[in-house]
Structure formats: structure tokens, C-alpha cells
Amino acid sequence: MSKICVLGQGYIGLPTALLFANNGCEVVGIDVNKHVVDTLKAGKMPFEETGFQELLDGAISRKTFRAESFVEEADVFLVAVPTPFDSEMRMADLRYVISACEMIVPHLRKDNLVIIESTIPPNTCDKQVKQILEKSGLKMCEDFYVSHCPERAIPGNTLREMVYNDRVIGGVDEKSTQLTADLYVSFVKGNLHLTTSTTAEMIKLMENTFRDVNIALANEFTQIADDYNINVWEAIEIANKHPRVNILKPGPGVGGHCIAIDPWFLTENANNSSLIMMSRQINDSMPQYVLKMVKEMLAGIENPTITVFGVAYKGDIADTRATPAKKFIKLAEKEGFRVKIYDPFVEEWSYPILGLEEAVEGSDCIVVLTDHSEFSSMEPEIFTRKMRRLNIVDTRSIINKKIWKKVGYTIRLIGTSGQK
């Protein structure tokens, strides 16, 4: 039985640790956050997602998982810590990855395998990781092995995607790649695609950059549609009937820890990346575009109040990382708007989250920024009497327009210009 030390017990590290623990490995989950460790020691998940608690219960019953605050000797070390974005430098902040590797050094032994799951720029394994781990006195590819195996999982469906999605495994040499593949085959039911560490590093960034560029194209189509007074949602739907066209949906911007950030990791040391950088600019500008629509609707109203529906970066989850809602709210406040927020999933955030009726009371306009399914089936007559004026801007094309119109709302969708 292999012993695995998983550094980082967050949204990716913890389920990865538990999957290994439920499939024949002895696993120690390491985290510097004492609350996370204490919660796991008590047999409880530090965050909620479908299937995770059952996975933890299974590992505990098998006695194959425990949580600790300090790294210890193991056969395999797996790094799954966050990789923040340095917004000033527009590049990856590798401090947590570097710190995790430094924690491994005193415990690194001959024939150990080190796997980096954290998202990292190309050449990180061959350069920074190698330099840090070789402080142990051991040599990479001779005494120990290193690979990159990026996660491919989406919040809200993490467990299923970790098991059934294909995985990319890239080692610094062939033995590193094969050792890692032999480990992941214990729970991954998708195909394993074997390559080099640098290629694997780039693939993860390419995947999210593709989505960012595609969304930017949709957002640019949205603004062009306004110029021509057509409905971009209808146009995209019909264009996607073409067998080789798949335009993604427009929206108020791009959020999450991956799509809004990974393109910068890819371009930080590249000479030719103008398309990617332009796409980032387009997506980052969408909160201003949405605010312009709101200002046009509320022109002439003194001391306007708006209600934001949804601050999570995507529908039906509570994740607010890099959400475009924050930029929209900051811009709106600068313009003199009073902003109130309702989100059925988010409980705590940097702005107060209110109940539905409190959030709409005295409001002049609802601005839908997140595609929570609740908004698609919402019956506005329940709270319409609380509103001061009946306006709504839907950036996700999710509301039932017939119902809202029947109650008397003026509706604007992005990419529909003056159309009602």
C-alpha cells in the first residue's frame, strides 16, 4: 500500500486525497489551516459538496485517511495548493507551491514521487520545483521523480468529474509519467493521456484560455449585436446549429479561479499572445458594459438603488472567486448607486447578502449577474410591491420574460439593444 501525503486540503486536494484513500492507499491530508485539520479530525467536511462527506466517512471507516498539520515521510507527495494571481505583475504567484515543495524537502527520500496538481505556468516542474526539491541532496530523475497532473473538475460536480474525466499526466521523464499513471488508475475511470510535464502544464492553461477567448468572442458579438439592433442570444443559438461552430454564452464577465486567471499564467513569459490578452480585456470590460445599460435605464432618477441578483461566478454554487459581480458593484457605487445583494447560495461575502424581500425593497432595478436556476423560475409578483420601479437587466438571459413582463417590468437583456 502506497502512502501519500497530500499538501492542501481544499476543493481539489481533499477530494483527491479521499479518492486515493478509498482506493487502496494510505493518505495523510496536510493543511496549514488548523480549522480545516480539526474539522477533518472530527470526521466532518470543512466545506460542502455532493458526495464528499460520504467519501470522508468511507476513508475513516477504512482507517486509510487522517488529517495533520505537518508533512511526514511518504512514498508520494501530492501538491494541491492554490496558485493566486498576481494582478500587478499579471503572472502566477507560486508562493504556496514553493512553500509546499519546501515542506517536502526534509522528508524526501530516494524513489519518492512528487506530483504537482496545482495550476502552474509551463516549465515550473523543470525549473522551480526541481531547484527546490534538489535542496534535499537528491537528484531529480535519478533519485526522485516529478510530474504534473492538473485537475479537471468543476465546482458543483467535482467528484464525478475527478473520477470520469480524462486526465493529463506529464512527467519530467518517462518513469515519472508512468509512476503517476500507475497511481491515478486506481480511481480515474477516464482515459489517461501521458506526455511531458511542460506539455501538461500548458494543456491545462490552454483549455481554460480557449474558453476565455470563446467567451470574449461571444461578449464582442453581444456588443456588435447592440449596434445592429439584433438579439445575440437568438443569433448564437442558430449559429451553433452549424456542425463546426460552438459559440459559448455571453455574460457580465468571467470569474472563478481558472478561466479568468489561467490565460495570464500562459502569457506571462510568452512573446506572442495578443489575441489572449485582448480576450482578457474584453471579458474584464463587461461589468462596465452592464453598468452602462443600467445607467441608461435609470437615467434621471435621483439616488437610484439597484439590487444585484447573484454574486457567485456561476450558477447554483456559492463560489465567488474572481466574480465579475465585485467589479460591477464597485463601479456602480462609484457612480452613486446604492447596491443591495441577493444570492440564494452565497451566505457570506465582502458585501452583505440580504434576504430576497429586503434586497428588493425600494429598488429601482434588478441586475441579474449569476445564472442561478432559482432566477429562471422566479415569480416576481411575490415581491414586486416592494420595488420602487419595475426594471430588470438580465445579463444571463435566464429569467422567464413573459412572467416578468406580465407583472409590468421593463426588461433589458445584454446583446438585444432596444429590443423588449
Q: Are 35 and 127 in contact (CB under 8 A)?
A: no
Which helix H or strand E contains 193, and what residues bound it? strand 192-196
Q: How confident is the model at residue 49 (pLDDT cuts 50, 70, 90)?
A: confident
- Strands 91-92 and 167-171 come out as unpaired
Task: Answer yes or no: is pLDDT of 143 > 70.
Answer: yes
**Is-contact 132 98, C-beta < 8 A?**
yes
Active-site residue 135, yes or no? no
pLDDT of residue 269: 82
For cell 474539522, name the residue.
39
List the alpha helices (DSSP H) in 186-323: 197-228, 232-239, 262-267, 274-284, 286-297
SS3 313: coil
For the ranges 144-153, 154-163, 269-278, the one whose mean pLDDT is highest: 144-153
Q: How confident is the model at residue 418 (pLDDT cuts 50, 70, 90)?
A: low
Sorted by sequence, the CB contacts under 8 Å of residue 176 that are 6+ apart come out as 113, 141, 145, 146, 147, 197
The mean per-residue pLDDT over the stretch 278-294 comes to 96
Q: Which residues pair with 270 in a beta bridge?
A: none
* β-bridge pairing 113-116 and 76-79: parallel
Q: How far is Cα 119 from Cα 49, in angstroms, rounded to an integer?
A: 21
Element (DSSP H or E) covering residue 65:
strand 65-68
Q: How many residues does the chain have?
A: 420
CA–CA dist 141, 130 (Å, integer): 10
In this structure, what C-alpha cell is assigned to residue 372? 442561478
Cell numbers given for 379: 415569480
CA distance linking residue 307 with residue 368, whole number of Å: 8
Catalytic choice (130, 204, 249, 326): 204
Instruction: Say how many C-beta atoms besides its own lie within 10 A of residue 228's C-beta.
Output: 9
Q: Is 204 a catalytic residue?
A: yes
Is the confidence at residue 10, as pLDDT, over 70?
yes
Pairing of strands 365-368, 305-309: parallel
Which domains does the chain carry?
3-196 (3.40.50.720), 286-413 (3.40.50.720)
Rg, the chain, Cα only? 24
Predicted confidence (pLDDT) per residue in 58-101, tens digit: 999 999 999 999 999 999 999 999 999 888 888 999 999 999 99
d(C-alpha 337, C-alpha 33), whole Å: 38
**258, 314, 340, 365: which one is catalytic?**
258
Pick 234 or 267 by higher pLDDT.
234
Are the beta carbons of 329 and 286 closer than 8 angstroms? Answer: no
Distance CA 337, CA 357 (A): 19
SS3 at position 391: strand
Q: Given pLDDT bands bounded at 50, 70 and 90, which one contains residue 416?
A: confident
0.85 cut: is pTM over it? yes
